């Protein structure tokens, strides 16, 4: 059964220790030593098999993993534990097996957090639920590296089409959305939704507020409120158009 969205934040917080406790099961069923060993030489950079690395080489390989900004909490924790233990066996175990298990733990936490994000769209939610139901660590890793971007791009395109269809969308918003639909990249569409939409809407809202001044018989109180709203933040202008203007002469 899929986790409900209301409980996801709690799940994300509690998931890390729970996954750590299931490490042996993952080792037996999903993350093979062959796969893990294949990633370790890449961290070392030399192509030397883990079993042939010296203690210094093992330590350097682990330090490089720690220095990777994409390393999650589980990987950092297990890497530090291997270095703290300091034995050849502990460091080799981490590079051959522990690294893959810890990364699988971090990746699972990552997709749960994506599912808990209220801004995640339908395609993203669908694919994350599929991964949580039956995805292997390798499939989850591949989705985070490539699939997430593609699913989000589809959701973002749906989002801007809906904005275009909104009868309350102003001229600046309509112009920018049409430009994005004609030639915008997924990255440009995402950036517009995060920042450009707010700015375009603010420009349209400012025009709409100024037009209030042209109303016949406008009161001095409304005139003063319009002047104050125009100098406000985008959020304050939006509030004025939706609610504030109706409270002035009430």
List pLDDT tens digits, range 38-97: 344 444 455 789 999 999 999 999 999 999 999 999 999 999 999 999 999 999 999 999
Question: What does the domain layout of the chain look like in residue ranges?
Answer: 5-120, 186-248
Spatial separation of the C-alpha atoms in residues 196 and 175, rounded to whole Å: 12
pLDDT at 14 > cutoff 60: no
CA-based R_g, the chain, Å? 26
pLDDT at 27 > cutoff 90: no
- pLDDT tens track for 193-239: 999 999 999 999 999 999 999 999 999 999 999 999 999 999 999 99
What sign for the dihedral angle of Cα 197, 203, 207, 212?
A: positive
**How confident is the model over 175-187, as a mean pLDDT?**
97
pLDDT at 113 > cutoff 90: yes
pLDDT at 23 > cutoff 60: no
Q: Report the pLDDT value the prediction gives residue 249, as an integer from 0 to 100.
A: 77
- Coil vs helix vs strand at 175: helix
What separation in angstroms does the CA of 229 have from each of 29, 164, 169?
61, 25, 19
Q: How many CA atoms lie within 13 A of 41 on its CB side?
A: 11
What sign for the dihedral angle of Cα 55, 56, 60, 61?
A: negative
Total-model pTM: 0.71
């Amino acid at each position: 059964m899929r986790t409900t969205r209301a409980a996801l934040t709690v799940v994300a917080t509690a998931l890390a220790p729970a996954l750590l406790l299931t490490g042996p099961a993952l080792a037996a069923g999903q993350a093979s030593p062959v796969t893990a060993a294949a990633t370790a030489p890449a961290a070392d950079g030399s192509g030397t098999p883990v079993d042939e690395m010296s203690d210094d080489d093992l330590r350097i390989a682990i330090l490089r993993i720690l220095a990777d900004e994409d390393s999650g909490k589980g990987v950092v924790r297990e890497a530090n534990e291997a270095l703290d233990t300091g034995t050849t066996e502990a460091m080799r175990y981490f590079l051959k097996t522990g690294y893959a298990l810890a990364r699988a733990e971090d990746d699972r936490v990552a997709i749960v957090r994506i599912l808990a994000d209220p801004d995640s769209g339908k395609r993203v939610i669908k694919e994350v639920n599929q991964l949580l139901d039956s995805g292997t660590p390798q499939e989850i890793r591949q989705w985070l590296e490539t699939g997430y971007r593609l699913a989000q791009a589809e959701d973002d395109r749906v989002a801007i089409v809906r904005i275009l269809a909104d009868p309350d969308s102003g001229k600046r918003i309509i112009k920018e959305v049409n430009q994005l639909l004609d030639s915008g990249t997924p990255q440009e569409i995402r950036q517009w939704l995060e920042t450009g939409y707010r700015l375009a809407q603010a420009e349209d809202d400012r025009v709409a507020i100024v037009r209030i001044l042209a109303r016949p018989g406008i009161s001095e109180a409304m005139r003063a409120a319009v002047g104050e709203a125009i100098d406000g933040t985008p959020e304050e202008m939006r509030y004025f158009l939706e609610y504030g203007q109706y409270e002035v002469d009430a």
